[in-house]
């Protein structure tokens, strides 16, 4: 199975930058897309950005376009989120997500895997 572990969160001033990392282990080849989500107590979990395993096609939420960049290294074992021009509204727990294919006696099924999250605080 796939396991995900986020790191890189912390405290940053408005206008600053931060890079989040997600270390991927297990059956990496089963993953067909990855994403960063974020969660705050007063909001639903929201998609920040995603990237496909084949072709590295990316998609961004409108509120981060031009500021954040999602990428994955060539070995496919690390997912990144480069965050620039941060503002206090970006404060959240950021979660790494993988969509993968699993198999059982019934055939193929979709797996949705989550990391524990890394906390980002943007404050002066």
Q: Order of strands, edge to edge, in the sheet holding 18-25?
A: 3-7, 18-25, 78-83, 68-72
Cβ-based burial of 24 (10 A; exposed 0-12, middle 13-18, buried ≥19): buried
Mean pLDDT of 64-90: 97
Mean pLDDT of 1-29: 97
Tokens at residue 13, please? 């001033």
Mean pLDDT of 79-86: 98
């Amino acid at each position: 199975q796939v396991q995900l572990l986020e790191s890189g969160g912390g405290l940053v001033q408005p206008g600053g930058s931060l890079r989040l990392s997600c270390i991927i282990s297990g059956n990496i080849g089963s993953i067909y897309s990855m994403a960063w989500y974020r969660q705050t107590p007063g909001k639903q979990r929201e998609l920040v950005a995603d990237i496909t395993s084949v072709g590295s096609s990316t998609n961004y939420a409108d509120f981060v376009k031009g500021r954040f960049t999602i990428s994955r290294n060539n070995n496919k074992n690390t997912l990144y989120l480069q965050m620039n021009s941060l503002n206090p509204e970006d404060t959240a727990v950021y979660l790494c997500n993988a969509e993968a294919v699993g198999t059982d006696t019934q055939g193929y099924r979709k797996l949705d895997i989550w990391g524990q999250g890394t906390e980002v605080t943007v404050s002066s």
